[in-house]
Structure 1
Amino acid sequence: MTRLNEWTLQLVRRDGRKLRAVALGRARLLFAAAGTGLGLMALGVLLGLFWATRSESSRIAELESELGVLRGERARVNELAARLAEIEQGVGVLRDAVTEGRPEAEAPANIVVRGSSALRSRPDPESETPAWPLAQRGFITRQFGSRPATSREGHTGLDIAAPTGSYVRAIQAGRVEEAGEDPVYGKFLRIAHTDGLTSLYGHNSWLFATVGETVERLEVIALTGNTGRSSAPHLHLELLRNGSLVDPLTVVADHSVRGGAEAPTDTEPR
């Protein structure tokens, strides 16, 4: 007697010579379905692992590429750091040469370098005359009292064009009253001298003297620059006697400067 919950699977060869019948009960069908489901699940898991492995491999390759780029950038940074160290060392050597003094044979004859007793003791027949504020030849670009068409005020000092880094000298022995940075004058020094005379040196790139220090005539006190309200490297020299502005060209000894048509180097007159 055939049960209703059983199935028969018949397998027949193509030539029809052999017939095979397989009885499939409900339990077998359920087992076959479960096996098929488990197989499909396992296949899905394997496919997921395969794609995950491929993604991880691709990500590893990307990270290795980024790592190579970062190593190259680090090498360039190390090169730049080494170059910067060389530049800083060179600046330090220059600073020491200016502030600590040089051998007398190497120092220019028209400056006094701080720390050099030999230069300080050098006789100067014009030691009482205020000296020219630059150690090298300069070029006057604005005269004292000059006034452009756009302003009603005259220029308060003398503008002398010179390359950045030129030696700025004290025109006379005195004491530093001010040293710092100003929106107009940039890096500046103000020195008090005898007979009520004060001198101001503006737009410098570097200052060597500090407030309260005593400086000598022709001593290097700064390096020229283009700081503050300035459009080109130059020195702004401003003199006052007893609080009143005076023309620097009537006070300082002038034997090395060139003059010419005025070309403003301060963006606004003072």
Structure 2
Amino acid sequence: MTVLRQWTVQLVRRDGRRVRSLPLGRARVLLSVAGTIVGLCGLGFLGGFLTASRVESNRILELEAELATLESERERMSQLAGRLNELEQEFGLLQDAVTAGRPAESLPVNVVPRGDMEVRSRTSAETATPAWPLTQRGFVTRHFGSRPDYSRDGHTGLDIAVPTGSYVRAIQAGRVEEAGEDPIYGKFLRIAHADGLTSLYGHNAWLFAAAGDAVERLEVIALTGNTGRSSAPHLHLELARNGALLDPLSLLADLSGRDNTAAPAERQPE
């Protein structure tokens, strides 16, 4: 004889007046338990899924922040590479002009490189006379005192058009008073000579001397350029004695003489 087990759940009101009985068969109990287990498993799966999603979201945010950092570093490296390229070009220009780029026999006539102890013999008169400041042939484009229509002021010096990178020489022995960069003169040098004479060399691309340096007559002190207030590569030479401006052409050695083989072949009209 088979005995079927059955459970009964009685629901009693608080006042005890009414009682409800709910018979529960074995199948119903098993279904309830199975449903509970399935529900718990579903909740566990859902919780795990949400946790994994949150972890992935945090990881995505971390990767985005890392990507932004890498992009910033890449931009900085690009800027550094550009600056390095500029420095390499400037170094190449300096190297070609001063060291291995030119053999000794190809140096411009009358150039006295810094540190070279072999100086051509000259008379005292030749040494005292201010020399032409360039080794490259050029053209005088503006004379001292010339005044364009748009200006009330006369020109303070002599402008000589030459290609960028031409040698600039000290017109006379002296000591560098100023060396730097100016909004008007660009990269410039000012040298103090004997008898209160000073010479200024403006619009250079590179300077080879610094303030306080002693320079010899005809020593290469700079390379010409187009810096400052300038519309084309040229050298601006400005002379003064005791603060009073002078016409450079009135003091420089004879342009056709042996001391100035690189003087301009011709002068352009004002």
Q: Could you say whether these structures have the same fold, taking a TM-score greater than 0.5 normalized by the shorter chain as the test? A: yes
- 2: distance between equivalents of 1:150 and 1:221? 33
Alpha-carbon contact 2:185-2:229 (below 8 Å) kept: yes
Q: Paired residue for 1:268? A: none
Q: Paired residue for 1:192? A: 192
- Confirm whether residue 38 of structure 1 aligns to residue 40 of structure 2: yes
What letter matches 1:217 in structure 2?
R
- Inter-CA distance 31–234: structure 2 relative to 1 (3 Å threshold): same
Alpha-carbon contact 1:6-1:24 (below 8 Å) kept: no
Question: RMSD over aligned Cα, in angstroms?
Answer: 3.9
Under a length normalisation based on structure 1, what TM-score does the superposition of the two structures give? 0.69
1:261: how far off? 4.3
Q: Paired residue for 1:93? A: 95
Q: Paired residue for 1:226? A: 226
Equivalent residue for 1:5, pick from 18, 22, 45: 22
1:94: how far off? 4.0
- Confirm whether residue 121 of structure 1 aligns to residue 138 of structure 2: no
- Confirm whether residue 24 of structure 1 aligns to residue 39 of structure 2: no
What letter matches 1:225 in structure 2?
G
CA deviation digits over 1:186-205, x for unaligned, max 9?
Answer: 22222233343321111222
- Inter-CA distance 123–93: structure 2 relative to 1 (3 Å threshold): same
What letter matches 2:120 in structure 1?
S
Alpha-carbon contact 1:6-1:23 (below 8 Å) kept: no
Alignment of 1:118-197 (within 5 A): 118=118, 120-123=119-122, 126-197=126-197
Q: Paired residue for 1:241? A: 241
CA deviation digits over 1:125-179, x for unaligned, max 9?
Answer: 8433321111101122211111112221111111112222211111122232333
Under a length normalisation based on structure 2, what TM-score does the superposition of the two structures give? 0.69
Give unmatched runs, 5+ long, in structure 2: 1-5, 9-20, 257-262
- Confirm whether residue 259 of structure 1 aligns to residue 259 of structure 2: no
Counterpart secondary structure, 1:5: strand
- 2: distance between equivalents of 1:158 and 1:82? 35
Counterpart secondary structure, 1:105: helix
What letter matches 1:105 in structure 2?
E
Q: Paired residue for 2:16? A: none
- 2: distance between equivalents of 1:89 and 1:151? 38
- 1: distance between equivalents of 2:93 and 2:148? 39
1:243: how far off? 3.1
1:2: how far off? 8.6
How many residue pairs end up in the alignment?
Answer: 236
Give unmatched runs, 5+ long, in structure 1: 9-21, 263-270
- Inter-CA distance 85–139: structure 2 relative to 1 (3 Å threshold): closer
- Inter-CA distance 89–158: structure 2 relative to 1 (3 Å threshold): closer
Q: Paired residue for 2:202? A: 202
- Inter-CA distance 96–140: structure 2 relative to 1 (3 Å threshold): closer
**Identity over aligned residues, as a percent?**
52
CA deviation digits over 1:91-116, x for unaligned, max 9?
Answer: 56346529xxx864232223211111
Counterpart secondary structure, 1:117: coil
